[in-house]
Each structure stands twice: as structure tokens, then as C-alpha cells.
Amino acid sequence: MSNNPTNRKAYLITGPTSGIGRCTAFELATHGTVVLVGRDRVKLNELQKAIERKGGHAVSVVCDLSDLASVRRAAAEIVVLHLPIVGLLNNAGIMQRRATKNAMGWDMSFATNHLGPFVLTEALIPHLPDGATVIFVASAVEDPERKPAKMAGFRGSRYLSAEASTRGEWNPGGSRMPGADAYATSKQCNLATAMAFARETPRLHFNSVEPGLNPTTGLGGHDAGALVRSLQTFIIPLLVPLLMPFIKILSTPKRAASVITKILINESGETGIYYDERGRPMLGSMLVRDPNFQDRVVAETRALLSTFPK
């Protein structure tokens, strides 16, 4: 590997300071420079130093994915780094138990999980070399027929339109679990976007990954009570390894990172693939497999974003 960071392959990760993103950052650092994109400068700097102590190279870019202006500034900052970014991992995501709004009055989950990654990816596409891979971390909870998701309380995506989603409006008949409809809908939009982009831009490879059920990542725990956070920190990590042989969808950040890294560095040229928690091709919901729906999500997202000057 070249000692000059600008000559190394580079990989960009959003949400790298915890969970799956953090584990993936350390794995990818053995393959090239890692561009760490997240909200908290202190945590980014700590991670960057930890990677460098292990002999890797990383750069940090502060970005709030719920804020379009912040995303566009971050994209511009990334471009002027002049790094050969051959992999982009849209990993950051939230699931709120109590819905909040961003500065523009949009649903925070939808803005963070779908709109921010969409804007970042579109801004970087022209600057990615041929053959680069873009991965969206999706979720099988978007599928209303997915049995494990139904058992957990999800009822699949409730997509009405991109504009309705920004208002926190979902198709009736959804989940009683707070935050579930917003999360499932945003994740279906991630998956639809990856599939549509794969057809639109064949010189790049766009894929999605279902990372499995990772109960130790704290997803959805940001606004949870102290008891839930304590369970996620101290108890659940002890139980997951014991239960994994019996519950196939269970995973850990380390295993998910290994799967994602293999897909991201894969040079076979596969595109438009949705991978499961073990790195095998899987199917999304019947709706998200429809190219017309995929194109609709992308067109409506672009129309919505076009109303806000760049």
C-alpha cells in the first residue's frame, strides 16, 4: 500500500463512530484510507486516532445527514480531498421512539435515513471512478410479509410519497410500535434508491445489505429510557452469541462489518443486488422489487429536493 494517502484506495462511511459503522471502519482501514463522515467531531477524531494507532489512515468530515445544507457542505469537502473513493457505505441511520423534526420541519428519521444519504450519494456520483461500489444499509423490516419483522411489531413500509414522508404521514394500518413506520419506510426508500441507481448508472455498482438483527448497536436507543440503554450495553451483548445459533437473523456489529467489507471490496462487478446478513442475495418486498416503484421513489425524492436551492 502506498504511503501517500492520495494514492490509496479510499472508502467513505457514514455513521462510523459506533456499532456496525465503527467495526467496518477498522476493517476497511486495512484496505485503504477511510473517510469518516458523522455528526460528532470529538467522536470522529477519537476514531481517526484509533485507526491511525493501528497503522491505518483516516480523515474526518463532519456532517449531519438530517440537514441538507450540512450534507452538501460535507460532499464539497470530500470532493476537494481528491481521494480515489472506490467505496461508499451509507450506514448511518436512526429509529426514533418519539418523532422529532429537523430544522426544515421534516420527519427526522426520514430525513436522516433517506434524504441525507440520497443527497450525499448524488453529489458524489460524478466524482466516483468507474467500478466504484455504493452500498445502502437497508432493512428487511420494509417487507410487510417478513415474519421476523412482523413478530417484532413491524408492519412494513407505509410509503405514500416522499413529501408525505417528510411530514411524518404514513399509509394507514401500520405498526403500533412508535417509530416503526418511519424506519421501515425510510429503509424501503434506501433499497428502492439503490436498485434505481444501479439501472441509471451502470458504470458504478449499487447494492444494499440487510445487516441482520443487531440488538447491541443501540439503534432506536437514543431516545430510550435508562433501563433499555443499560440492557443494550450490559446484558444483550452477553446473550446474542448464545442465541445466534438458534436465531439465524441475529448478528453482531463485527459480523455485519465483515459481510459489508467483503461486498464493498468485491471487484466482480455485481450491481443491483440485495444481500442478507450472511452476504447472500435476497429479495425485498414485492413492492420494492418493482422498477416502476423504484423510479417513483427516486423521482419524488428529486422533485422534493429540487425545491431547496443547492
What total of structural domains would you count in the chain?
1
Average confidence (pLDDT) over 280-301: 98
Helices 19-28 and 41-53, packing angle to 10 deg: 40
Is-above-0.95 flag for pTM?
A: no
Asked whether residue 1 carries a pLDDT value surpassing 70, the answer given is: no
Average confidence (pLDDT) over 6-20: 89
Quick one: pLDDT band at residue 282, thresholds 50, 70, 90? Answer: very high
237 within a domain of the structure (yes/no) = no
191 within a domain of the structure (yes/no) = yes
Predicted pLDDT of residue 225: 54
Q: What is the DSSP letter of 281?
A: B
Average confidence (pLDDT) over 286-307: 97
Asked whether residue 142 carries a pLDDT value surpassing 90, the answer given is: yes
Residues 16-54 have pLDDT tens digits of 999 999 999 999 999 999 999 999 999 999 999 999 999
CATH number of the CATH domain containing 125: 3.40.50.720
Q: How many residues does the chain have?
A: 310
Predicted pLDDT of residue 151: 87
Average confidence (pLDDT) over 78-88: 97
Higher pLDDT, 42 or 233: 42
* Cα distance between residue 148 and residue 75, in whole Å: 37
Asked whether residue 242 carries a pLDDT value surpassing 50, the answer given is: no
229 within a domain of the structure (yes/no) = no
Could you tell me which of 145, 147, 146, 144 has the C-alpha nearest to residue 159?
144
* Side-by-side strand order, sheet with 205-209: 58-62, 33-38, 10-14, 85-90, 133-137, 205-209, 274-275
33 within a domain of the structure (yes/no) = yes
Predicted pLDDT of residue 104: 92
Predicted pLDDT of residue 240: 41
Residues 89-102 have pLDDT tens digits of 999 999 999 999 99
Range of the domain at 274: 5-214+252-305
222 within a domain of the structure (yes/no) = no
**DSSP E strands, 7-91:** 10-14, 33-38, 58-62, 85-90
* Residues in Cβ contact with 75 at an 8 Å cutoff, skipping those fewer than 6 apart: 119, 120, 123, 124
Average confidence (pLDDT) over 102-127: 97
Average pLDDT, the chain: 89
232 within a domain of the structure (yes/no) = no
146 within a domain of the structure (yes/no) = yes
Asked whether residue 302 carries a pLDDT value surpassing 90, the answer given is: yes
* Cα distance between residue 51 and residue 138, in whole Å: 26
Asked whether residue 293 carries a pLDDT value surpassing 80, the answer given is: yes
Phi, psi of 307 (to 5 degrees): -80, -5
Average confidence (pLDDT) over 122-129: 98
Quick one: pLDDT band at residue 252, thresholds 50, 70, 90? Answer: confident
Asked whether residue 229 carries a pLDDT value surpassing 50, the answer given is: no
96 within a domain of the structure (yes/no) = yes
Asked whether residue 220 carries a pLDDT value surpassing 70, the answer given is: no
Distance of CA 179 to the CA centre of its chain: 17
